[in-house]
A and B are shown apart, each in its own frame.
Chain A
């Protein structure tokens, strides 16, 4: 074990500062979710008798139903994107299908501002009488999850040596079997990373949800933002709602970060 040098000391200091920086706002909100409105005006009140009132108000507001809808939208969007995207990405990576135009299209789709896309979705939802349902939200989320997932997967498929697939073909596999049973398992880490990424994008979106389903089918970000507008601001209840949105993902981030780093280093960042 070598003696820590000055570089290590800087390194630890930087990391410690980052920890405080990240954790302080979250801890403050956690504390605020147990405070009464009067206690709220004293930011550094640490010892107080916690109230469960905020949490009760939030649970009654149907926040879990909203979280469920967000999860449903995320899972459906990601599943569809992965199935369709992996097939397409494979064709693009191995057979140069669609030329560079398709590949560029996937990236260019990232550039389109959501403000362009949202109004067509809204008018279509009006025409099909599907306003305030999850259907337009899922299509809207597909518009940004599908291109990004596909773009990531193209990189992963390119990293798979084509000799693997040729060997499978020699062994009597059909093209589809070679893809499904030989090539696809090679990119599972990448698919995992792309799935996490796509789900995060969908789970985080407020803009489409706010415009396409502001009422009964509100997804979680919309439900949270509603604490900011209705009947003034209920900071306590809003803090509890924010905690409900934060806790599952922060716990999940502990388990998925390694998969994410490994997955992305497998090819997505090589363009």
Chain B
């Protein structure tokens, strides 16, 4: 059995250094009054940072903003990604090229994607508003009430390919017989989709939504590239808000406390979601 632990030890050691240690250090930071500009060792303040974060309306606003963003983006990606995966699955002509084009956005660094859309959708120089002006329409993509939607749209542009990738992999590894049997039995396309395909793909869809949702929660690049939280604080997502607190305003301790509150809430949502799934299975 020494072999088993010999194999595991390097992983645990590296995991401890790269994840465990920073995590513990962050716990320590979150109960001090540490500021990035401090010279002397930080003092212990107990739960004060947590209390001030929980009672900070701006924190909860960022929380709501992020939740709306994640729901819109992930739902959009799931629906569009599912349709595209089905379409690509049956594509025979120029198969590799069509797949490469559809998957391309997920390989582009998000800051580049954010900057592309910042200028593509810009009122003065962007091609899309110019196109809209030509047909007499006027739509300010980064205006009040619309900026968050635009950010979610950018997320959809970049990350629908991730859904396509996972769903496509699921479709490729799926046995063909059930779909064939349903067709032979005279089931229509809608019935086959709802009663055969979606139930069979359910595990893949769950993993895809989970991974996408967790990743969308940390949205930072698009906000940083386009709105910087504006107009007002409308598009201040959690990650951007904590970046401002910790780095711009040097309040590392408070930012760490906020990050832990987010972590606990997200873990709670995941545990509840998995419980619900398990119960529905039984």
How would residues 112 to 142 of chain A score, 1 for a CB under 8 Å from any chain B CB and 0 otherwise? 1111111111111000000000000001101
Contact segment of A52-60, A160-168, A249-257? A249-257
Total count of chain B residues near the partner, CB < 8 A: 95
CB-based contact B116/A225 at 8 Å: no
Main SS at interface, chain B:
helix
Q: Identify which of A11, A98, A113, A253 contacts B104 (C-beta below 8 A).
A: A253
Complex CA gap A25/B262 in Å reads 34
Task: Name A197-221 residues within 8 Å CB distance of B.
Answer: 200, 203-204, 206-207, 210-211, 220-221
Complex CA gap A28/B129 in Å reads 13
CB-based contact B168/A124 at 8 Å: no
Whether, in the assembled complex, A111 has its beta carbon less than 8 Å from a beta carbon of chain B, the answer is: yes
Q: Identify which of A90, A113, A124, A265 contacts B263 (C-beta below 8 A).
A: A113
Q: Identify which of B84, B130, B224 contacts A206 (C-beta below 8 A).
A: B224
CB-based contact B107/A253 at 8 Å: yes
Contact segment of B45-53, B175-183, B235-243? B235-243
Complex CA gap A84/B16 in Å reads 13
Whether, in the assembled complex, A14 has its beta carbon less than 8 Å from a beta carbon of chain B, the answer is: yes
Shortest C-beta distance, B186 to chain A (Å), equals: 16
Whether, in the assembled complex, A245 has its beta carbon less than 8 Å from a beta carbon of chain B, the answer is: yes
CB-based contact B29/A18 at 8 Å: no
Tell whether A88 pairs with B8 under 8 Å between CB atoms, given A28-B127, A271-B203: yes
Whether, in the assembled complex, B119 has its beta carbon less than 8 Å from a beta carbon of chain A, the answer is: yes
CB-based contact B88/A88 at 8 Å: no
Total count of chain A residues near the partner, CB < 8 A: 97
Shortest C-beta distance, B193 to chain A (Å), equals: 11
Whether, in the assembled complex, B54 has its beta carbon less than 8 Å from a beta carbon of chain A, the answer is: no
Which residues of B sit under 8 angstroms from A239, Cβ to Cβ? 119
Complex CA gap A227/B137 in Å reads 31
CB-based contact B165/A264 at 8 Å: yes
Q: Identify which of B21, B165, B208, B211 contacts A261 (C-beta below 8 A).
A: B165
Shortest C-beta distance, B100 to chain A (Å), equals: 4
Which residues of B sit under 8 angstroms from A249, Cβ to Cβ? 104, 107-108
CB-based contact A119/B211 at 8 Å: no
Q: Identify which of B15, B86, B173 contacts A266 (C-beta below 8 A).
A: B173
Shortest C-beta distance, A258 to chain B (Å), equals: 6
Which residues of A sit under 8 angstroms from B110, Cβ to Cβ? 204, 206, 221
CB-based contact B246/A115 at 8 Å: yes
Which residues of B sit under 8 angstroms from A257, Cβ to Cβ? 96, 99-100, 103, 165
Shortest C-beta distance, A83 to chain B (Å), equals: 8
Whether, in the assembled complex, B135 has its beta carbon less than 8 Å from a beta carbon of chain A, the answer is: no
Complex CA gap A11/B98 in Å reads 13
Q: Closest 5 A-B residue pairs measured CB to CB?
A: A88-B11, A120-B25, A265-B173, A116-B259, A120-B22
B residues near A, CB below 8 A? 1, 3-5, 7-8, 10-12, 14-15, 17-19, 21-23, 25-26, 29, 34, 36, 83-84, 86-88, 90-91, 96-112, 115-117, 119-120, 124-127, 130, 157, 165-166, 168-170, 172-173, 189, 203-204, 206-208, 211, 214, 217-218, 220-221, 224-225, 238-239, 242-243, 246-247, 252, 255-256, 258-260, 262-263, 266-267, 270
